[in-house]
Structure 1
């Protein structure tokens, strides 16, 4: 798709559901080698990507996707970092991971995914939201710093932590409405269920 055509396309961020499994697999398989290595903190084979995508939507935590023109182009994950997580409460510490396809960067998709995941984490009992990335992952470092994460270098990896405010009754209500809207969007506009190429 030409760069000019991409400019006019808006993105929609919503929660991903088990019915989105094919879209998630197709997305991971489309990532260029560098983006895939940044997302998984190292090289991952196609078989490894397929295995991960198969279980990603049923693992503990939640996933959010950014759709452009009906296709999944960015993906964010929120995963608990300790025992005792449930469907609605992840515990005080959770980890966020993101990736956006190279051709769709610098359009606010990463920022929208980060904001949506931080809001979701806040309403699932998370106090500290952690991010990890390779030291060369400039987009992730800029995103974490922009949202106020304290960054620490650990060899070739960088870890950041963002302290989240406690939810309010209004923010909890708003999150419930957003989740219901996400489900409605998923049911109304499913991505084409083609098998991956």
Structure 2
């Protein structure tokens, strides 16, 4: 009987915390112009990227990163589309944004980030998750459609809407354990991105 090899992803996806601020800045500054424009829905200057990255980790919502050999190579954000009822609950509608460095695409990072963001959204009280992108962003459109998002084209932009199921007690417990583990990784290996990039 042949033994099948266990396939382990070459990256780790975890929540980002304030200790990751430098890794987030370095990541955004490394993005090529096309990827940066796709992520921000238009051209953004280096000063604009620096300003965004400086506040991103502390803004309402959550961020997740995909790390390869200690370097942040993909990033997903979940941001509320309205006032948040509490510190732990987002508004019922939220928006997700993703980007993966060009050299690290086609490895499942985008799909892993999307799945992690959708799971987090569900456990933060989000019912309708939206993904906006430029209409020419084929990879993002395919990823949204693969996860069941209904796509609506609006000129040069496309909105993907995904209705999320309510969390269960077990899924809430699991999410709490996952976030505690993510925090432990973040504080155990601070600023590895600068050393590894």
- Shorter chain as denominator, the TM-score bin is over 0.9
RMSD: 1.6
Partner of 2:161: 161
After TM superposition, the runs of 4+ consecutive aligned structure 1 residues lying more than 4 A away are none
Residues 172/105 of structure 1: CA separation in 2 closer, same or farther (3 Å cut): same
Q: Which moved more, 1:185-194 or 1:99-108?
A: 185-194
1:10-159 aligned at under 5 Å gives the runs 10-159=10-159
Aligned counterparts of 2:160 and 2:90: Cα–Cα separation in 1: 18
Secondary structure of the 2:44 match is: coil
Q: Structure 1: which 5+ residue stretches go unaligned?
A: 1-7
Does structure 1 conserve the Cα–Cα contact (< 8 Å) formed by 2:11 and 2:69? Answer: yes
Q: Structure 2: which 5+ residue stretches go unaligned?
A: 1-7
Deviations 1:32-67 (A, max 9, x none): 000000000000000000000000011100000000
Aligned counterparts of 2:187 and 2:90: Cα–Cα separation in 1: 26
Shift of residue 148 of structure 1? 0.2
Secondary structure of the 1:42 match is: coil
Partner of 2:187: 187
Shift of residue 86 of structure 1? 3.3
Secondary structure of the 2:192 match is: coil
Residues 49/85 of structure 1: CA separation in 2 closer, same or farther (3 Å cut): farther
Aligned counterparts of 1:121 and 1:150: Cα–Cα separation in 2: 17
Aligned counterparts of 1:142 and 1:159: Cα–Cα separation in 2: 12
Does structure 1 conserve the Cα–Cα contact (< 8 Å) formed by 2:61 and 2:79? Answer: yes
Secondary structure of the 1:73 match is: strand
Shift of residue 157 of structure 1? 0.2
Aligned counterparts of 2:81 and 2:30: Cα–Cα separation in 1: 28
Does structure 1 conserve the Cα–Cα contact (< 8 Å) formed by 2:19 and 2:191? Answer: no
TM-score computed with the length of structure 1 as normaliser: 0.92
Does structure 1 conserve the Cα–Cα contact (< 8 Å) formed by 2:145 and 2:151? Answer: yes
Shift of residue 17 of structure 1? 0.4
